[in-house]
Amino acid sequence: MLRSLTIESARPGVQQRSTTALALAEEHYFRIQKEDEQIGAFLTLCRERALEQADRIDRMAAEGNPLPPLAGVPVAIKDVLNTRGVRTTAGSKILEHYIPPYDCTAVARMEAAGAVVLGKTNCDEFAMGSSNENSAFRPVHNPRALDRVPGGSSGGSAAAVAADMAVAALGSDTGGSIRQPASFCGVVGLMPTYGRVSRYGLIAFASSLDHIGPITKTVKDAAIVLGVIAGRDPMDSTSADLPVPDYVAELAKQARGLKVGVAKEYFGEGLDDEVRHAVESAIDKLKHLGCEIVPISLPHTPYAIPTYYIIATAEASSNLARYDGVRYGYRARGVKSLSEMYRRSRDEGFGAEVKRRIMLGTYALSAGYYDAYYLKAQKVRTLLTRDFEEAFQKVDAIVTPTSPTAAFRLGEKSNDPLAMYLADIYTVTADLAGVPGISIPCGNTRDNLPIGLQILGRHFDEATVLRIAHAYEQSWAASALRL
């Protein structure tokens, strides 16, 4: 039952009393107890909070009241999103015992829409990673193959959905951290336009790149969640004051007639042959659905990785300066001076990858190097954004592989940071440009590892991205049934 459970099926069941929110929550907790020891998707469970919410929803249903869009749906929340009264660690020892006094806006909106929050999911420390091996607590294993990574940094959220331990989850995406795990775990991951979803209550990694978005089993579920969490928030000055479309209604529109761009830069050296074949087959399917396939170029793509790892690390260096052992978080013991407390608290509290990125970012921002690195990276970011703006004058969306490979083995790239960073080569461009993107399953390798198709759209045009993704998903599902 849990494998086929979606938001689309769960909410009507609760409304019609064929099941209850309480029963759904208990089933998922049983599943977590049974499966999560070997997967490691959750860091903290909030059973009391979940059951109180489930009881509230069941009472509404019993009284015959109309239920909100996520009523009774068991969800998981990435552990970089603050939850009032529930431990929020960002996957770091430095915040191991931090309990926020407030909710992240996206979480508050999910619960206001009736969602039942089961717990907080494991992630790379401060969302810095592509494999979910950088968590201070334990790595996450891919439910599709336990010797493989689930992707990062939202690996716990993707694994929880893929393993049927939650119907949906929230993740964050700074360089691909929603889309790449979704690809590796065979689920749907949506990164909205920068500013479409409030970042208030998100523990910051890189403030100009961070996005919050859903990880779900279907495109329609992603559309439902986005409709709940999107919209202006006075607590976040970067959230856009724009109308939020009815994303679910948009799914009913056909993809026929839409122009879909294919950028040659995303099909070059380093792309695995099986991934290439699956994505090219997906493009052919879109053509059969009536989309016009248009060759395009995004010429500055080769500069995306170095640009991203200068800007992101520079912002991380600034954002993580607040963790000093004084205000909150981990504090080293047995120190004899203030400077020693700062140094040891950060040295003992941060993991190796976070320290690496802080040092890179501090160097890029330092006197004498700011213009050569950070300022130049911002100029290249503008060029990357212009590439997309020019492309979207010719096409309605762009399709690419989500990742150059399927999920790699745990430990395979741990000692090679550059190889790990290149796992994000097809996703960082969208974060830098601020455009929306989605990853949807488009096939499997010979080893039965999922392959993801990425669809990118114009700023604030998530509707078209979802529309194309839904059309492809329905066509792929129909093909699978025929087989």
Task: Give catalytic residue positions.
Answer: 78, 153, 177
| Phi, psi dihedral angles at 456 (to 5 degrees) | -110, 150
Contact (Cβ atoms closer than 8 angstroms) between residue 354 and residue 125: yes
Contact (Cβ atoms closer than 8 angstroms) between residue 212 and residue 202: yes
Alpha-carbon distances, residue 352 vs 92, 117, 421 (angstroms): 11, 31, 15
Radius of gyration in angstroms for the set of CA atoms belonging to the chain, rounded to a whole number: 21
Q: Is 342 helix (H, G, I), strand (E, B) or coil?
A: helix
Instruction: Name the nearest CA neighbour of 456 among 386, 400, 414.
Output: 400
| Phi, psi dihedral angles at 264 (to 5 degrees) | -60, -30
- The secondary structure of residue 127, as a DSSP letter, is G
Residues 6 or more apart whose CB falls under 8 angstroms from that of 456 comprise: 388, 397, 398, 399, 400, 430, 435, 436, 437, 465
Cα separation, 413 vs 426, in Å, equals 18
Contact (Cβ atoms closer than 8 angstroms) between residue 195 and residue 171: no
The b-or-e profile of 59-76 (16+ CB within 10 A means b, else e) is ebbeeeeebbbbbbbbbb
Cα separation, 27 vs 300, in Å, equals 48
The amino acid occupying position 241 is D
Cα separation, 243 vs 231, in Å, equals 7
- Lookup: tokens for 200: 């208030």
Provide the sign of the torsion angle of the four alpha carbons 64, 68, 74, 77, taken in this order. negative
Q: What are the strands of the beta sheet with 450-457, ordered from one edge?
A: 42-45, 116-121, 74-78, 168-173, 211-216, 188-191, 437-444, 450-457, 397-401, 259-263, 292-296
For the chain, the straight-line distance linking the first and the last C-alpha, in angstroms and rounded, comes to 22
- Lookup: tokens for 425: 């080569």
* Pairing mode of beta strands 74-78, 168-173: parallel
Q: Is 84 helix (H, G, I), strand (E, B) or coil?
A: coil
